[in-house]
Amino acid sequence: MPLVTLATRAIHDKGASGIGHTLTDPLFEQAVTRTLVLALTVAVICLLLGTLYALALVTAKGPVKALLWGALLVSFWISLLVRTYGWVLLLQPNGVLDKTLRGLGVIHDSLNALQTTPAMYPGMVHIMLPYMVLPIYTSLAALDPSQLRAARSMGAPPLLTFRKVILPQLRPGAIAGAILVFVLSLGFFVTPAFLGGPSKLTVGTIIEREFNSVYDFGAASVMSLALVFVVLAIYLVADRLFRVGEHWTAG
Partner 1 sequence: MSIKGDLQDVCVSLGGTPILHDVSLEIPAGSFLTLLGPSGSGKTTTLNVLAGFVSPQSGHVLFDGEPVDKLPPERRSTGIVFQDYALFPHLTVEQNVEFPLKARRVPRAERLERVNRMLELVQLPGTNGKRITTLSGGQRQRVAVARALVFEPRLLLLDEPLAALDKHLRESMQVELRGLQEQLGITTVAVTHDQAEALVMSDLVAIMRAGAVEQVGTPKEVYKRPRTRFVATFLGEANLLRVDDPLVAALGIGWTAQGGDAEVLLRPEDLRLERPEDAPDRPAFYVRRIEFHGARLRISVNPDIRSSTEDLTVSLEACTDAEAWQVGDRVALACDPRAAHVIDPENAAPPAMVSA
Cβ proximity to partner 1, 82 vs 154, nearer residue: 154
Residue type, 208: E
Binding residue (CB under 8 A) for partner 1 from 12, 99, 149, 240: 149
Total residues in contact with partner 1, by rule CB under 8 A: 22
Q: Is residue 24 at the binding interface for partner 1, with CB under 8 A as the rule?
A: no
The answer to whether 84 touches 72, Cβ cutoff 8 Å, is no
In whole angstroms, the minimum distance from the beta carbon of 42 to partner 1 comes to 27
The answer to whether 174 touches 51, Cβ cutoff 8 Å, is yes
Binding residue (CB under 8 A) for partner 1 from 111, 156, 184, 231: 156
Q: Is residue 99 at the binding interface for partner 1, with CB under 8 A as the rule?
A: no
Q: Is residue 250 at the binding interface for partner 1, with CB under 8 A as the rule?
A: yes
Closest CA to 22 of 34, 9, 38, 35: 9
Q: Is residue 62 at the binding interface for partner 1, with CB under 8 A as the rule?
A: no
Q: Is residue 40 at the binding interface for partner 1, with CB under 8 A as the rule?
A: no
Q: Is residue 128 at the binding interface for partner 1, with CB under 8 A as the rule?
A: no
Judged by CB under 8 A, the stretch of 115-123, 128-136, 142-150, 184-192 that binds partner 1 is: 142-150
Cβ proximity to partner 1, 1 vs 154, nearer residue: 154
Q: Is residue 163 at the binding interface for partner 1, with CB under 8 A as the rule?
A: no
Please give the residues from 165 up to 204 whose contact with partner 1 meets the rule CB under 8 A: 165, 168-169, 171
Judged by CB under 8 A, the stretch of 4-12, 23-31, 87-95, 151-159 that binds partner 1 is: 151-159
Q: Residue 92, by phi and psi: left (phi above 0), alpha (psi -120 to 50) or beta? A: beta
Q: Which residues bind partner 1 (CB under 8 A)?
A: 144, 146-147, 149-157, 160, 164-165, 168-169, 171, 248-251
